[in-house]
């Protein structure tokens, strides 16, 4: 039986077993254990019992240092994002930092990773060591969570037994998530290592990278997030994937039914979703090919409060019992349906409103693909706002009838379910709803959308590659930037064109555009309201992009932008 990661290594894995593919080159178990021993001999000299590990770009080195620190008797702090600016709050726990970065982290002692090649180490059980994780921070300041290693060991043991039929096929684990959150650490590192299957150390960022990884391995497991699957399935007609993905794991937020079914059609397997939290570990799982209900994991004991909130007890949880804010409807002895979070119930003008319920009704509207509903304070009163994305039929409808008519029709639809006083007062129609690396909606970014009335163009026929993106755009005539520019002869301002170029750079390439320089800019023709415009954005190198607005032979504008100047 699985007891701890290092024990299962020593008992069950042979020295010539491949445990990693580092930049697609095999790393054998004997090499990994020697590297761990070498660094453990170095880390044991650290006088503090706690260390921060931040090695984001060299995951093999991260895996080595992580296990070495545990072996050296250290508890590990794993910040998802670590910068000189946000590092200071961790100094109350430790001032020792294991990193390969050369930034200046005031107050921290940087542990030297150049150490003697001493592999003489007696491996210890690490079940009593602690790990510090941080919640996503999507709705506020990230919360620090302390978990004992044996809690993750117990969870890996459970999943190892449940997934044995896949493990026996000797796949390679690939992933689009980093090992700095509990889900990523457990599935891309602990799970494969505990079961003697290899893990690819590269993070998959694009569909092309996923295609490449599938092409070089016989069979693969894929640990990912709903946001990554959303992105792939959105362009499902553009990509063909090999039929060698035998399992897909997803966590971080809920996977939409359409995305789950589209992924099934693309890969031949239904994504296995894991519901839980950093505090509780995994609570339940589902594959939507079998329906929307969740099945409670066998080691987890669940009770419902009077408000139908989950109260759980588990060997995976840092506190027992633990009250979750999720409201459920029991459908059987060990199954339930999620009905939303209790902390997303708000009161508007004496009316109680479930934000998840409104999101659900919005997504049932024939023109809407996704929605996120938020309650904000506006002029000393609470109002409901929503950001939505449209399906293909919705895009055609809004281009034909205009934004104002669309919103009018949408509110009329919502009146069948909600009183007028709680209907959304601000509605933003976007191409993509912002999510973090875990696939959770970023509330702060979404709320910032409600502070601006600059409406995004309607985007159709989007084609995304590693080096570029193209789409057909329509700037609707009732958009605010046509008002007064110019009276009786509205045209699209050049500054608005640049605004969206920068927005698309960030949206499609995850490159910050706060600091940029325009290398080249030329306006050739006027863009009029409701005029179909083809847009192309190409990545020349890491920080340089070219763009072009045109329609056939007719050029509207083009240029080059340098970011991070």
Nearest to 271, CA basis, from 298, 243, 251: 251
pLDDT in tens, 430-482: 999 988 766 778 888 898 899 888 999 999 999 988 899 999 999 999 999 99
Beta bridge partners of 458: 474
- 194 within domain boundaries: no
- 171 within domain boundaries: no
What's the pLDDT band for 138 if we cut at 50, 70, 90?
A: very low
pLDDT in tens, 97-120: 999 987 778 889 999 998 888 989
Count of beta carbons in the 10 Å neighbourhood of residue 233: 21
SS in 3 state form for 400-422? Answer: HHCHHHHHHHHHHHHCCCCCHHH
What's the whole-number mean pLDDT along residues 363-383? Answer: 88
Average pLDDT of the chain is 90
Domain boundary (450, 483, 515) is at 450
pLDDT in tens, 66-77: 999 999 999 999
Contacts of 176 (CB under 8 A, 6+ apart): 203, 204, 205, 210, 222, 223, 224, 225, 228
Do residue 406 and residue 467 come from a single domain?
no
User: What tokens were used for 303?
Assistant: 């009770």
562 in Cβ contact with 501 (< 8 Å): no
- The C-alpha atoms of residue 549 and residue 555 are separated, in whole angstroms, by 6
The torsion of the CA quartet 479, 482, 483, 484, rounded to 10 degrees, works out to 170
Tokens 């009905």 correspond to 339
Task: Indicate the number of domains in the chain.
Answer: 2
- 561 within domain boundaries: yes
User: So what's the pLDDT on residue 271?
Assistant: 98
User: So what's the pLDDT on residue 12?
Assistant: 59
- 109 within domain boundaries: no
- 304 within domain boundaries: no
Q: Is residue 197 predicted with pLDDT exceeding 80? A: yes
122 in Cβ contact with 288 (< 8 Å): no
What residues make up the domain containing 420?
349-450
Do residue 389 and residue 490 come from a single domain?
no
What's the pLDDT band for 286 if we cut at 50, 70, 90?
A: very high
Beta bridge partners of 330: 336
Do residue 409 and residue 471 come from a single domain?
no
- 523 within domain boundaries: yes
Domain boundary (450, 479, 508) is at 450
- The C-alpha atoms of residue 28 and residue 198 are separated, in whole angstroms, by 9
- 440 within domain boundaries: yes
Say which range, 76-90, 205-219, 496-510, has the weakest mean pLDDT: 76-90
Q: Is residue 518 predicted with pLDDT exceeding 90? A: yes
Domain boundary (450, 482, 503) is at 450
User: What tokens were used for 95?
Assistant: 């001032």
Say which range, 126-140, 223-237, 505-519, has the weakest mean pLDDT: 126-140
Do residue 439 and residue 520 come from a single domain?
no
Buried b (16+ CB within 10 A) or exposed e, 57-85: eebbbbbbbbbbbbbbebbbbbbbebeee
Do residue 422 and residue 458 come from a single domain?
no
User: So what's the pLDDT on residue 13?
Assistant: 72
- CATH classification of the domain holding 371: 3.30.300.30
pLDDT in tens, 522-550: 999 999 999 999 999 999 998 999 999 99
| Range with the largest mean pLDDT of 232-236, 475-479, 506-510 | 475-479
- The C-alpha atoms of residue 329 and residue 411 are separated, in whole angstroms, by 28
CA angle 136, 314, 308 (to 5 degrees): 75
Helix 257-267 / helix 226-234 crossing angle, nearest 10 deg: 70
Do residue 446 and residue 353 come from a single domain?
yes
Say which range, 2-11, 81-90, 227-236, 542-551, has the weakest mean pLDDT: 2-11
Contacts of 515 (CB under 8 A, 6+ apart): 563, 564, 565
What's the whole-number mean pLDDT along residues 326-351? Answer: 85
- The C-alpha atoms of residue 2 and residue 190 are separated, in whole angstroms, by 11
Do residue 503 and residue 543 come from a single domain?
yes
Q: Is residue 414 predicted with pLDDT exceeding 90? A: yes
User: So what's the pLDDT on residue 141?
Assistant: 61
pLDDT in tens, 41-62: 999 999 999 999 999 889 999 9
- The C-alpha atoms of residue 38 and residue 33 are separated, in whole angstroms, by 9
pLDDT in tens, 9-26: 445 577 889 999 999 999
Q: Is residue 139 predicted with pLDDT exceeding 70? A: no
Q: What is the DSSP string of 493-505?
A: -HHHHHHHHHHHH
pLDDT in tens, 202-226: 999 989 999 999 999 999 999 999 9
User: So what's the pLDDT on residue 1?
Assistant: 30
- 550 within domain boundaries: yes
286 in Cβ contact with 324 (< 8 Å): no
Contacts of 158 (CB under 8 A, 6+ apart): 282, 297, 298, 299, 316
Q: Is residue 179 predicted with pLDDT exceeding 70? A: yes
User: So what's the pLDDT on residue 2?
Assistant: 38
Nearest to 254, CA basis, from 271, 241, 269: 271
Nearest to 459, CA basis, from 435, 444, 476: 476
- CATH classification of the domain holding 517: 3.10.129.10
Beta bridge partners of 375: 384
- The C-alpha atoms of residue 390 and residue 365 are separated, in whole angstroms, by 10
Percentage of residues in the chain with pLDDT exceeding 70? 96
pLDDT in tens, 300-318: 999 999 989 999 999 999 9
């Amino acid at each position: 039986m699985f007891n701890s990661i290092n024990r299962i290594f020593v008992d069950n894995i042979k020295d010539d077993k491949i445990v990693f593919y580092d930049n697609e080159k095999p790393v054998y178990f004997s090499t990994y254990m020697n590297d761990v021993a070498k660094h453990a001999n170095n880390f044991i000299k650290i006088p503090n019992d706690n260390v921060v590990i931040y090695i984001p770009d060299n995951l093999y080195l991260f895996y080595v240092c992580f296990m070495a620190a545990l072996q050296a008797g250290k508890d590990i702090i794993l910040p998802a994002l670590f910068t000189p600016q946000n590092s200071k709050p961790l100094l109350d726990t430790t001032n020792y930092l294991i990193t390969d970065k050369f930034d200046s982290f005031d107050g921290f002692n940087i542990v030297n990773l150049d150490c003697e090649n001493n592999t003489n180490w007696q491996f210890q059980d690490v079940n009593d060591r602690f790990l510090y994780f941080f919640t996503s921070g999507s709705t506020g300041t990230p919360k620090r969570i302390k978990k004992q290693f044996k809690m993750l060991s117990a969870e890996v043991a459970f999943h190892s037994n449940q997934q044995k039929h896949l493990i026996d096929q000797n796949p390679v684990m690939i992933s689009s998530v980093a090992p700095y959150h509990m889900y990523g650490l457990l599935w891309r590192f602990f799970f494969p290592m505990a079961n003697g299957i290899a893990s690819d150390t590269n993070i998959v960022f694009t569909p092309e990278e996923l295609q490449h990884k599938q092409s070089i391995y016989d069979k693969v497991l894929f640990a990912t997030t709903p946001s990554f699957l959303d992105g792939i399935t959105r362009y499902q007609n553009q990509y063909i994937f090999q039929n060698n993905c035998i399992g897909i794991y997803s966590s971080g937020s809920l996977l939409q039914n359409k995305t789950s079914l589209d992924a099934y059609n693309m890969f031949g397997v239904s994504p296995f979703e894991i519901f839980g939290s950093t505090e509780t570990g995994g609570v339940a799982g589902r594959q939507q090919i079998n329906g929307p209900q969740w099945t409670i994991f066998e080691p987890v004991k669940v009770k419902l409060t009077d408000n139908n909130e989950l109260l759980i007890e588990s060997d995976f949880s840092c506190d027992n019992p633990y009250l979750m804010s999720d409201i459920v409807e029991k459908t059987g002895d060990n199954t339930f349906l999620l009905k939303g979070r209790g902390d997303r119930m708000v009161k508007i003008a004496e009316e109680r409103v479930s934000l998840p319920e409104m999101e659900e009704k919005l997504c049932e509207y024939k023109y809407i693909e996704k929605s996120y509903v938020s309650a904000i304070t506006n002029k000393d009163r609470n109002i409901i706002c929503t950001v939505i994305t449209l399906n293909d039929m919705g895009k055609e409808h809004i281009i034909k009838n205009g934004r104002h008519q669309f919103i009018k029709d949408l509110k009329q639809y919502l009146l069948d379910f909600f009183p007028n006083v709680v209907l959304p007062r601000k509605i933003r129609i976007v191409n993509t709803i912002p999510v973090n690396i875990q696939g959770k909606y970023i509330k702060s970014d979404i709320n910032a959308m409600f502070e601006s009335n600059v409406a995004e163009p309607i985007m159709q026929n989007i084609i995304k590659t590693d080096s570029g993106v193209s789409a057909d755009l329509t700037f609707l005539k009732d958009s605010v930037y046509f008002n007064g520019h110019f009276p009786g002869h509205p045209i699209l301002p050049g500054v608005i064109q640049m605004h969206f170029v920068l927005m698309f750079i960030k949206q499609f390439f995850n490159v910050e555009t706060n600091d940029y320089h325009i290398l080249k800019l030329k306006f050739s023709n006027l863009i009029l309201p409701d005029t179909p415009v083809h847009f192309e954005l190409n990545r020349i190198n890491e920080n340089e992009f070219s763009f072009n607005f045109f329609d056939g032979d007719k050029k509207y504008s083009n240029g080059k932008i340098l970011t991070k100047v």
